[in-house]
Amino acid sequence: MERAMSGRGRRRGYVVRALSDFDADGLTLVGQRPPFLAYLREAWRRRSFAFTLASHRLVGSLLPNRLGVLWIVIKPLALAIIYGTIFHFVLSGAARPADFVPFLIVGVFIFEFFTGSFGAGAKSITGNAKLVQSIGFPRILLPVAVVIEQALRIIPVMVLLGILLIVLGVPPRPSWLLLVPIMFTMGIFNLGVAMIVARLSVHARDVQQLIPIINRVLFYVSGIFFDVDGALADAPVLLTIAHLVPTYDFIAIARAVLLDSHDAPLLAWIAAPAWAIVTLIVGAVYFWQAEARYGLSE
């Protein structure tokens, strides 16, 4: 009996020492949720993990393709050509914007940043189930890595956008530099959305089936290929609602700084950063509240 008690005491001591070493190494047990601010501090301390994961995923997704990095710019360019060809013959009247081709290209290229973050963000947890169940780390780094990857993808797209605008006769101007903070602010909004759909997808995988539908709806209500102000000039209530659609706001202010022929409504300039801040805070809190569940087997 004494030997049994002594054995249990030694095992208990081993467990205590192991847990002490576990905490000393900065690791956490899977299934625990730390306080919110401590959680964010730990995520910031491990931010290099998100950058490394994003860059490796980007390279890994491009290497199997023969054209490699060219696919980053081919996809939005092909979409712009297809939509431009179709709607060039369909649109008329007030709904047809001035400088239709530059107008369309800016809309398609900017919207691509959102769709990439939205779709990949929904799979950021469910697509890394083994990693999530095996290692203790702030799971928020997974949607962060998704948005970083999409930001890396959008850089050559923005370069191509500038080249195309110049070729189309749009003179470069100092206001083009404002596209950098605009895209940064949109990245913050995208991160908030990615965190929200990442948690929703863990609870119900069906959310991932809805994302293409939501993207299609946003594509039309964001005025990618038509002038919202002209089309809804006789419906002020609908026009105000359209001006509050987040994707419309970012696209509208991007067009305002890139194209001389277009101005963004004041409401869009106010709503865009507001959407970014609110969505980031709500998304971070909402995601953190389920932190303890992400490491559990489904």
In the prediction, which pLDDT does 10 show? 45
Contacts of 187 (CB under 8 A, 6+ apart): 113, 117, 147, 150, 151
The region of weakest confidence among 2-6, 58-62, 134-138, 140-144 is 2-6
For residue 255, the tally of other CB atoms under 10 A from its CB is 22
Q: Which of 239, 235, 236 is nearest to 268 (CA)?
A: 239
Is residue 290 a contact partner of residue 199, using CB atoms and an 8 Å limit?
yes
Quick: pLDDT tens for 169-185.
888 999 999 999 999 99
In the prediction, which pLDDT does 284 show? 96
Q: How confident is the model at residue 115 (pLDDT cuts 50, 70, 90)?
A: very high
Of residues 74 and 18, more confidence is placed in 74
Quick: pLDDT tens for 53-111.
888 887 776 666 555 566 667 777 777 777 766 666 565 555 667 788 888 889 988 99
Give 33-67 as a 3 state SS string: CCCHHHHHHHHHHCHHHHHHHHHHHHHHHHCCCCC
Give the pTM: 0.82
- Rounded mean pLDDT, 134-147: 89
Task: Report residue 265 as tokens.
Answer: 């409504």
Q: Please name the residue ranges forming H helices in the chain.
A: 2-24, 36-45, 47-62, 70-90, 100-122, 129-134, 141-167, 179-203, 206-221, 228-231, 236-243, 246-258, 266-289, 291-294
- Rounded mean pLDDT, 182-193: 96
Task: Report residue 216 as tokens.
Answer: 């299609």
Which amino acid is located at 281 in the chain?
A: I
Burial of 18 (0-12, 13-18, 19+ CB in 10 A): exposed
Is residue 12 scored above 60 in pLDDT? no
In the prediction, which pLDDT does 288 show? 92
144 HSE (CA, 13 A, CB side): 19
Of residues 128 and 150, more confidence is placed in 150
